[in-house]
Amino acid sequence: MADKLHFSLVSPAKEVFSGEVDHVIAPGSEGEFGVLVNHAPFMTTLKNGIVRVLENGATKMRIFVRGGFADVTSEGLTILAEEARLLEDVTAASVQEEIDATLLKIQSLDKDDSARITLQEHFDYLESLKAALVH
Amino acid sequence: MPSLKDLKNRIGSVKSTRKITKAMQMVAAAKLKRAQEAATASRPYAERMASVLANLSASAGAGGPKLLTGTGSEDTHLIVVLTAERGLAGGFNTYVVKLAKQKIGELRAEGKTVKILTVGKKGREQLSREYGDLFVGHADLSGVKGGDFSESAISLGKKLTKDFEVGEFDVATLIYSQFKNVLSQVPTAQQMIPASMPAEAEDAKVGNALYIYEPSEEGILETLLPRYINTQILSAMLESAAGEQASRMTAMDNATNNAGEMIDSLSLQYNRARQAQITKELIEIISGAEAL
């Protein structure tokens, strides 16, 4: 349909979402932005936060992303996220469990281990995910 | 002529070998399915990222970051050889190493300095004999569980980006086994740094001039490029893992068949030997009876 926006959200692990929607609101590094159909070509980096997919004015889906890029072209919106999870799939308890496991892993590594930085990023992501769930 | 007991022992040992290879084949088949899914699932991300980057780099031109344009010289080459942690996978590791050796030979003939970074134990073992003095590092994949390579890929990517920035090398090439399908894995050499654009990059140019960038084009390129390298490594690792399992499955299937054939021929030999012995005993009894 011509009046729908093609939106796809992919993470390295899988294609999280792909389909036609009305409106997407994403957390850009310079502030939140909304994308409707026929948006001008636009590219930005993202910060940790919630990508909201709106259909008929109501929120249809909320996806929590960590870092990445949004690319708006004439074909639609593509979000490349480092990590992405559907908010409805996670619970505060399961996130807390992961936070604890990650923290243990971080502590077991040397200070200058490059894997530590990666884990730290993952940890920050989980922390902000937890914060988002509480709301 | 081996005795009956020897033959029986040999049949027994080949039979247990067949059991092992059969089990390995089945394990590989199960793992292959998962690895293949992971490899397929990571493709959209890598493809999208390549097309986004193609868009950007087409407009960035010559003034872009070093990761894109290179250092200006190409004297020092880093070859990253990605192989499996385990053997018994047919020619899987050997083919990758062969391509690596060929590439190293070519570069050296041109008078370039070559450094080697190995990922996976098998490649290191096979290359150490000839090129052990060129090794600059090794990444171990044995700790990876359940096919989750993202951590290893990111830490390797970060290491490469860092080494490149301090001028350890000018060009980095990744040599890995590309997973075409279960029956064919193609050893591939892919240039990672400076980032090489996919061939279809030219088509993606539409509407560059109108692009709005936030925060800025350079800012985006700077964050995107290291990620692009990580992504390339990750998808190479996933493809390699899938290829390894596919290759092992085929190899073990062959081994199981061969063991079956061997058991057949040994059983035939065993039965003949047994029959010969019975006949001999009969002759002995009959000739004994006749002598009476």
Q: Which pLDDT score, from 0 to 100, does residue B62 have?
A: 55
Asked if residue A22 and residue A82 are part of one domain, the reply reads: yes
Which of B40-44, B272-276, B278-282 is the least confident region?
B40-44
Give the residue among A48, A128, A124 at the shortest CA–CA distance from A81: A48
Asked if residue A101 and residue A76 are part of one domain, the reply reads: no
Asked if residue A61 and residue A21 are part of one domain, the reply reads: yes
Among B145, B162, B206, B211, the strongest candidate for a mutation testing the A interface, having the largest count of A CBs within 10 A, is B211
The answer, for B151 touching chain A at a CB cutoff of 8 Å, is: yes
Chain A residues within 8 A of B44 when measuring between CB atoms: 8, 10, 15
Asked if residue A79 and residue A106 are part of one domain, the reply reads: no
Q: Which pLDDT score, from 0 to 100, does residue B222 have?
A: 82
In this prediction, residues A7-25 reach a mean pLDDT of 87
Report domain extents, chain B: 42-247
Higher pLDDT, B273 or A1: B273
Asked if residue A56 and residue A109 are part of one domain, the reply reads: no
Which of A62-66, B20-24, B26-30, B201-205 is the least confident region?
B201-205
Q: Which amino acid is at B276?
A: A
Compute the mean pLDDT over every residue in chain B, rounded to the nearest whole number: 86
Residue with tokens 């247990």: B16
Chain A residues within 8 A of B140 when measuring between CB atoms: none
Q: What is the ipTM of this complex?
A: 0.72
Q: What CATH number labels B42-247?
A: 3.40.1380.10
Question: Using one digit for the tens of pLDDT, what is the confidence trace for B170-199?
Answer: 899 999 998 888 888 899 998 888 877 654
pLDDT over 90 percentage in chain B: 40
Asked if residue A99 and residue A77 are part of one domain, the reply reads: no
Question: Using one digit for the tens of pLDDT, what is the confidence trace for B18-75?
Answer: 999 999 999 999 999 999 888 888 888 888 888 888 777 776 655 667 777 777 788 8
Asked if residue A72 and residue A32 are part of one domain, the reply reads: yes
Q: Name the pLDDT band for B202 (thresholds 50, 70, 90).
A: very low
User: Which candidate from A11, A40, A114 shows the least CB-CB separation from B210?
Assistant: A40
Q: Is the pLDDT reported for residue B11 higher than 50?
A: yes
pLDDT over 70 percentage in chain B: 91
Which contacts qualify for A62-68: CB closer than 8 Å, 24 or more apart? A62/A86, A62/A87, A62/A88, A63/A9, A63/A16, A63/A17, A63/A87, A64/A90, A64/A129, A64/A132, A65/A9, A65/A11, A65/A26, A65/A27, A66/A121, A66/A122, A66/A125, A67/A121, A68/A11
Query: What is the CATH classification number for the domain harbouring A68?
Result: 2.60.15.10
Asked if residue A99 and residue A79 are part of one domain, the reply reads: no
Asked if residue A52 and residue A108 are part of one domain, the reply reads: no
User: Which candidate from A10, A43, A82 shows the least CB-CB separation from B48?
Assistant: A10
Most confident of A86-100, B220-234, B245-259: B245-259
Asked if residue A101 and residue A77 are part of one domain, the reply reads: no
Asked if residue A75 and residue A25 are part of one domain, the reply reads: yes
Asked if residue A96 and residue A48 are part of one domain, the reply reads: no
Q: Chain A residues within 8 A (CB-CB) of chain B?
A: 8, 10-15, 28-30, 40-45, 69, 71, 73-74, 78, 80, 82, 113-115, 117-119
Query: How many domains does one find in chain A?
Result: 2
Residue that is last in its domain, among A52, A67, A88: A88
Range of the domain at A98: 91-134
